[in-house]
């Protein structure tokens, strides 16, 4: 065989991605400061300058999660790896776990429990509704041998937010540990790991942190460390075993575990620094501020929310597609004509719902106005009766009455 036989069939050139506006369920746009940080010289992953930066990442992450947990670090892998890391370390064969399921990601947690030999007791809530703490309480009464409660704080498939504080209280009352998915909430809506008593938490870099995908910030309480230390069986994953990883992320005398994605970590460092500079409260308020304006614009287009107001995530807006509208064609035109990406509905919501993300650096006044104008033009073009200019005007009106920014 000749090496030429393996040449690509089509001519391959340098890849220049188009400049999009990412307003779907994630990833969101990466901030230019973060992109610049990624382009800095690669360091060895045991270089003392690099390991000093790792310490800063850990302390910035403690701020973002509001925790003093020693075991707070980014996992080299997307949110799904953060999720798996929690389950693989905390579950031993036969352990009973209550999993709250009110969308796609709760369903993935069930898969995780079962694949790691646990017994999943599922507490179901309707898609678009938050997890009901009373149902969890009832399930605990029926299953007093439950060891862990797992739930998604911000369900990206529906836009529903669950009451993490109350769910953690319920867990504590029954002497259970908690695993909490905050992939879509970190930086966008309040998370208070220590105050709420969360045991294991994971997130993703690509949503409200304005960072590219591929890293998963995680944090574990001392209760989790003790649990892992006292396991009867070995953790069923070498890569994700937190006691081994700690030799790299946890101690001053760092030893090789895996080659950390150095430039991706510069990006996370920059994005967490930006979050600290902005301040958590300000970031949470900014997400709400832009949501209010987008919501008012949607109302003029006859677009109704899937989730009831008190449980809505400002950073993930799920709305029903107006009757008679070809939802796929709208998304196609937004991308082709405006370079604007929005998300489709998943599962039961496929074809019926759009998901608009307002996450991280994508969560801006100009994006809200741009998105409403683009949507209104396309919907009007497609024959929907809309008052031209009304959507952006409604958003502007909301901004004018909110003195915050």
Ligand X SMILES: Cc1ncc(COP(=O)(O)O)c(C=O)c1O
Size of the site for ligand X (CB under 6 A): 13
Write out the binding residues for ligand X, residues 131-170 only, by CB under 6 A. Answer: 152, 156
296 binds ligand X (CB under 6 A): no
Taking the complex as a whole, the smallest distance from the CB of residue 105 to ligand X amounts, in Å, to 4
Judged by CB under 6 A, the residue of 69, 71, 75, 79 near ligand X is 79
Write out the binding residues for ligand X, residues 24-43 only, by CB under 6 A. Answer: 26
Which C-beta is closer to ligand X: that of 85 or that of 394? 85
Taking the complex as a whole, the smallest distance from the CB of residue 301 to ligand X amounts, in Å, to 25
184 binds ligand X (CB under 6 A): yes
Write out the binding residues for ligand X, residues 315-344 only, by CB under 6 A. Answer: none
CA distances from 397 to 101, 356, 388, 405 (A): 38, 20, 15, 14
Cβ contact 168:148 at 8 Å: no
User: Can you tell me the distance from the alpha carbon of 315 to that of 360, in angstroms, rounded to the nearest whole number?
Assistant: 8
Taking the complex as a whole, the smallest distance from the CB of residue 366 to ligand X amounts, in Å, to 25
Q: Is 355 annotated as a binding residue?
A: yes
Which C-beta is closer to ligand X: that of 130 or that of 322? 130
Cβ contact 358:184 at 8 Å: no
Judged by CB under 6 A, the residue of 181, 199, 296, 376 near ligand X is 181
Taking the complex as a whole, the smallest distance from the CB of residue 255 to ligand X amounts, in Å, to 27
User: Can you tell me the distance from the alpha carbon of 368 to that of 391, in angstroms, rounded to the nearest whole number?
Assistant: 10
Token pair in block for residue 30: 């990466």
Residue 285: exposure state from Cβ atoms within 10 A (0-12, 13-18, ≥19): middle
DSSP 337: H
Helix (H) or strand (E) segment spanning residue 103: none
| Rounded CA Rg of the chain | 22
74 binds ligand X (CB under 6 A): no
Write out the binding residues for ligand X, residues 339-398 only, by CB under 6 A. Answer: none
Judged by CB under 6 A, the residue of 54, 83, 167, 224 near ligand X is 83
For residue 202, the cross-strand partners are 181, 218
Judged by CB under 6 A, the residue of 139, 183, 218, 334 near ligand X is 183
261 binds ligand X (CB under 6 A): no
311 binds ligand X (CB under 6 A): no
For residue 118, which phi and psi values (nearest 5 degrees)? -85, 175
User: Can you tell me the distance from the alpha carbon of 26 to that of 183, in angstroms, rounded to the nearest whole number?
Assistant: 10
Cβ contact 160:100 at 8 Å: no
Write out the binding residues for ligand X, residues 85-114 only, by CB under 6 A. Answer: 105
- At residue 155's C-alpha, the angle toward residues 179 and 265, to 5°, is 65
For residue 196, which phi and psi values (nearest 5 degrees)? -85, -10
264 binds ligand X (CB under 6 A): no
Identify which of 346, 353, 296, 348 has the alpha carbon closest to the alpha carbon of residue 319: 353
Comparing every residue's Cβ against ligand X, the nearest one is 79
Which C-beta is closer to ligand X: that of 179 or that of 386? 179
Q: Which residues carry a binding-site annotation?
A: 355
- The residue ranges that bind ligand X (CB under 6 A) are 26, 78-80, 83, 105, 152, 156, 181, 183-184, 204, 213
Q: Which residues carry a binding-site annotation for substrate?
A: 355
């Amino acid at each position: 065989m000749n090496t030429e036989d393996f040449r690509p069939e089509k001519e391959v050139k340098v890849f220049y991605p188009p400049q999009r506006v990412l307003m779907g369920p994630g990833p969101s746009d990466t901030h230019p400061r973060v992109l610049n940080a990624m382009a800095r010289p690669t360091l060895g992953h045991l270089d003392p300058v690099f390991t000093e930066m790792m310490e800063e990442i850990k302390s910035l992450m403690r701020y973002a999660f509001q925790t003093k947990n020693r075991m707070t670090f980014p996992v080299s892998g997307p949110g799904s790896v953060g999720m798996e890391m929690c389950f693989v370390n905390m579950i031993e064969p036969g352990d009973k776990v209550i999993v709250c399921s009110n969308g796609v990601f709760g369903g993935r947690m069930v898969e995780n429990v079962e694949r790691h030999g646990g017994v999943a007791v599922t507490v179901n809530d309707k898609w678009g509704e938050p997890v009901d703490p009373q149902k969890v309480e009832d399930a605990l009464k029926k299953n007093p041998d439950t060891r862990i409660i797992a739930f998604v704080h911000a369900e990206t498939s529906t836009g529903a937010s669950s009451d993490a504080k109350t769910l953690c209280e319920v867990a504590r009352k029954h002497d259970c540990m908690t695993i909490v998915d905050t992939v879509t909430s970190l930086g966008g809506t309040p998370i208070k790991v220590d105050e709420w008593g969360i045991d294991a938490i994971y997130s993703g870099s690509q949503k409200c942190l304005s960072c590219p995908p591929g890293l998963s910030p995680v944090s574990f309480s001392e209760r989790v460390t003790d649990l892992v230390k006292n396991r009867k069986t070995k953790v069923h994953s070498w890569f994700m075993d937190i006691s081994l990883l700690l030799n790299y992320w946890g101690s001053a005398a760092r030893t090789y575990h895996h080659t950390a994605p150095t430039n991706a970590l510069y990006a996370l460092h920059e994005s967490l620094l930006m979050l600290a500079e902005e301040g958590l409260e300000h970031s949470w308020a900014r997400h709400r501020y832009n949501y209010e304006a987008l919501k008012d614009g949607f109302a003029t287009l006859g677009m109704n929310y899937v989730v009831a107001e008190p449980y809505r995530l400002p950073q993930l807006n799920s709305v029903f597609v107006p009757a008679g509208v070809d939802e796929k064609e709208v998304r196609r035109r937004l991308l082709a004509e405006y370079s604007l990406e929005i998300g489709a509905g998943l599962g039961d919501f496929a074809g019926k719902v759009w998901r608009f993300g307002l996450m991280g650096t994508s969560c801006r006044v100009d994006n809200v106005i741009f998105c409403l104008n683009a949507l209104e033009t396309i919907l009007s073009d497609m024959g929907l009766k809309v008052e031209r200019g009304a959507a952006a005007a409604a958003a502007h009106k909301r901004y004018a009455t909110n003195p915050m920014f």
